[in-house]
Amino acid sequence: MLGIEDCLAEVMAIPGALDAIMIDQTSGTAVATGGGNRHLDAERSAAGLGETLRAMLDGLATTSPGGTVRIRDVIITTDDGHHLLKPLETVFDGPLVIYVHLDSQRSNLALARHRLQALSGRLITM
Amino acid sequence: MPTTENVLNGLAEDRATGALHLGGAGTLYLTGGHVTCAESPAAPRVEDLLAACGRISDHAVRQAMRAQDEGRPGGELLVAQGVLTKGELEFCVLGAVLDAVYFMFDAPGHRPWFRPGERHWLGPQWYFDVTGLFQECKRRRTQLDRTWPSAELDSLPVVPVGRVPAQRVVLTSLQWEVVACADSTATPADLAHRLGRPAYSVLLAVRQLAAAGLLRVPRGEIAAAPAPPGAPSETPEERPAAERRDARVPPEAPAGALPRRVAGVRGIRDAVAEGAHTSGTAQWLPPATGDPTDVNLLIRLRNALEALT
């Protein structure tokens, strides 16, 4: 059983992880941050990433035949690496979103996704 | 009168442990100068959130409350029972504290009163910086205003429109819950308690629905709506001078003078809120009407303008 800080430490232990943020998506709050990026403004990043996820859900919902959608994870590749967003549904509020920025040279996307999936099962029991 | 912010900053500097009572607005619990728990009547408590999602019965909560002591706080007992993980408890406390604090800091007319050594039954699960809390409240307020700049619907019963002004509507899961639970009498705060969702999240969902033109103002409710306990009041007299927005007409302006134009959407929001809550004190404002056609017209105008861009 994991606490939020332990979970963040395990996210940062994923090979190639540069930064990580735990986000409460509904309010856009940065719950916890990890990594050494001094330029990272966690508050604003969290709000922006929360909005990204919301916009993506809106877009996917309109294109999906049933009109409903549930995102397992989101992978965004940029010039400076991969960005993974993993929403975890909680019973109180949320979803709680794990965001992790991975180095494109040193990381393995499949491994990172697998680790995030395993972690989510230990943080939240639904 | 000392403001909540001053008192809290002082307690944080002293690394105080105990409970800060804010009258009817709620109670803040501190551990070593950090806020570790907060309860406000305007927001569901941790045990309400836990009970609403069916994870834990009222009986189990009462048992944990009784069994807890200094060495084994109630939170640890719940985790040891296996009803929820440490991460879930932390996330729940975190959400509940930020939620309660949002409705607490703006509530006027209370005298902060600190009782050293008083603890919350859950024990410290998450430590909040006092400055961080105030920043978060400010950010949340901005987020609400950016979503839909009128506080008019915040304390009124939520009434979804009968016919949707579009062919297709996309809702988030929380917006769905709000619409499904709305019975034309429940306010956003009532809905939060019924749904077991944080009051701020419900408020945000209501503003999002309002912005999408999916809600209407209940007829004849504006003037009669009472301010819910602990809801942010917007009277200029009760707010610290530094926070007062300079663009507004000073309250001592002669009655009957033309209302001067106010800057920005915040001004409109305040004007609406003051008109709704303090009829009588703010005579320089035009009277708020209960006519829903005005609001519907504004919503339609706004939607039309957005469609143009």
Could you give the ipTM of this predicted complex? 0.82
pLDDT at B286: 53
Confidence band for B277, pLDDT divided at 50, 70 and 90: very low
Position of tokens 């959130």? Answer: B49
Which positions 32-91 of A are in contact with B (Cβ < 8 Å)? 43, 47, 54, 57-58, 61-62, 67, 90-91
Asked if A54's CB is within 8 angstroms of B79's CB, the reply is no
Query: What is the average pLDDT score of chain B?
Result: 78
Handedness of CA B204, B207, B211, B216 (dihedral sign): positive
In angstroms, the CA B22 to CA B4 distance is 8
What are the residue ranges spanned by the domains of chain B?
4-129, 148-308
In angstroms, the CA B221 to CA A118 distance is 51
pLDDT at B235: 40
Position of tokens 């690394």? Answer: B15
pLDDT at B164: 87
Instruction: State the angle between helix axes of B199-211 and B173-181 in degrees (0 to 180), rounded to the nearest 10.
Output: 90
Q: Are B68 and B74 in contact (CB under 8 A)?
A: yes
Higher pLDDT residue, B231 or B66? B66
Asked if A94's CB is within 8 angstroms of B204's CB, the reply is no
Position of tokens 């069994």? Answer: B67
- Out of A27-31, A50-54, A109-113, B234-238, least confident range: B234-238
Q: Are B48 and B198 in contact (CB under 8 A)?
A: no
Count A/B contacts: CB-CB distance under 8 Å: 88
At the topology level, CATH places domain A4-123 in: Beta-Lactamase (3.30.450)
Residues 6+ away with beta carbon under 8 Å from B87: A1, A2, A3, A4, A6, A7, A122, A123, A124
For residue A56, what is the enclosing H or E element? helix A42-63
pLDDT digits (tens, 9 = 90+) for A14-29: 999 999 999 988 888 8
Which of B45, B48, B91, B146 to substitute to test the interface with A, most A CBs within 10 Å?
Answer: B91
Cite the beta strand spans of B17-77 per DSSP E: 18-21, 27-31, 34-39
**Candidate from A3, A26, A57 with C-beta closest to B87:** A3
pLDDT digits (tens, 9 = 90+) for A7-60: 999 999 999 999 999 998 888 888 888 876 666 788 888 989 988 998 898 889
Asked if A7's CB is within 8 angstroms of B87's CB, the reply is yes
Most confident of the following: A31-35, A99-103, B167-171: A99-103
Cα dihedral A5/A8/A14/A18 (nearest 10): -120
Longest dimension (CA), chain A: 43
Per-residue buried b or exposed e for B67-91, using 16+ beta carbons within 10 Å of the residue's own CB: ebeeeebbbbbbbeeebbbbbbbbb
Asked if B91's CB is within 8 angstroms of A92's CB, the reply is yes
Residues from chain A that touch B200, judged by Cβ atoms under 8 A, are 27
